[in-house]
Amino acid sequence: MFIYGVKLSTSFLYMIRMCVISVLFIMILACAPANDRQEIRLGTAALGGAYYPLGQGLSSLVTQHLDGVSMVPIVTRGAVENPRLIARGDIELALTNADLAYFAYDGQRPYGEPLNILAAGALHPSVLHLISRADGEISTFEQLEGKRIALGAAGGPTVSLARLLLEAHGMSLDDVVPSFLSYSDGFSQLGDGNIDAAFALAGYPAAGVLQTRATQDLSFIQIDSEIMAQFIIDNPYYYLVDMPKEVYDTNTGSTLLAVPNILIVSGNADADFVFDIVGSIYGNLQQLQQTNAIAQQIDLSQIEHLPIPLHPGASQYFMQQ
């Protein structure tokens, strides 16, 4: 190609074109509106459980209703790890179980020291599923001694609660044969007869239980009512729920242990910031409940029974409602 009598090489023309494209791209970016939204992170859990989809819904409410803020759900190792992430400042908000929040706040096992966390609101309950095969020999908690039990992931919330229940029955993890499997794998192994019982502290209906129930009759393992009553006195962050037999198509319903899930923030979080976040979630909760079955189980009356203090910003919001 010739310009003003000068022959230009192909490589030189390519460089000119690339320069023009780069300049145009920079001009387009300069003219585009700036994204000045503050991004905040919500710790949930692994994909496949109840926490992540609920976290997606909560994040959507904040992003939609709070100007200048974008909330992003973050995959984490779950309820046990989330208080640590909050205390370290790795995330701004998180979901966890009320019992674990208390253990973290008070510095009890599995946390080596008190963590600077506070509650921002109540969420749905997790129910302790104690499940055996209907054709098996286990119907009471005492009969679990020496049996093979799936307890969820090692270090998870189900393990913590199972340890407490075993102690309430004069046993420990050494008195059973624990398997640390995911909920879905645990109930699959139960259906195949490779273990004797499966535990899961989870929202209901739990997908793993439903999948196994499709091919295998199941039953709830019963806890003595007096032991259950004393257990709740000793551990007031738990309470009882009645599980209708229709939920899992079992022969009978059952009274089960439950623990609220809660939203937590750092104790150092700004009160106005927390007030705005809490308002964007709970002020628009009905919108999420229209499409999310877990969100439909959120009971705001549990605000009065949280095991750790409310953050001042959250307290101010709920007092105004």
* Cα 281 versus chain centre, distance: 16
Going by C-alpha positions, the residue among 257, 231, 295 that lies closest to residue 127 is 257
pLDDT score recorded for residue 47: 72
The pLDDT score that the predictor gives to residue 263 is 98
Which domains does the chain possess? 38-125+261-319 (3.40.190.10), 126-259 (3.40.190.10)
Left, alpha or beta for 104 (phi > 0: left; psi -120 to 50: alpha)?
alpha
Q: In whole angstroms, what is the distance from residue 194 CA to residue 148 CA?
A: 8
Answer whether 157's CB lies under 8 Å from 110's CB.
no
Residue 221 CB coordination number (10 Å) = 23
Report the pLDDT value the prediction gives residue 176, as an integer from 0 to 100.
96
Give the span between the Cα atoms of 198 and 247, in whole angstroms: 17
CA 258 to chain centre: 14
In the chain the beta strands, taken as DSSP E runs, fall at 2-3, 6-7, 38-43, 69-74, 93-97, 117-133, 148-150, 177-179, 197-202, 218-220, 239-243, 254-266
pLDDT the model gives residue 156:
81
Question: Which of 153, 319, 144 is CA-nearest to residue 220?
Answer: 144
Structure tokens belonging to residue 157: 């919330």
Q: pLDDT for 226-275, tens place per residue? A: 999 999 999 888 888 888 888 888 887 788 999 989 999 999 999 999 99
* Torsion on CA atoms 208, 214, 217, 220, rounded to nearest 10: 30
Structure tokens at 99: 């019992």
* Token pair of 29 as six digits: 């970016």
The parts of the chain modelled with pLDDT lower than 70 are 1-35, 48
pTM, 2 dp: 0.75
Residues 173, 190: Cα–Cα separation, whole Å:
19
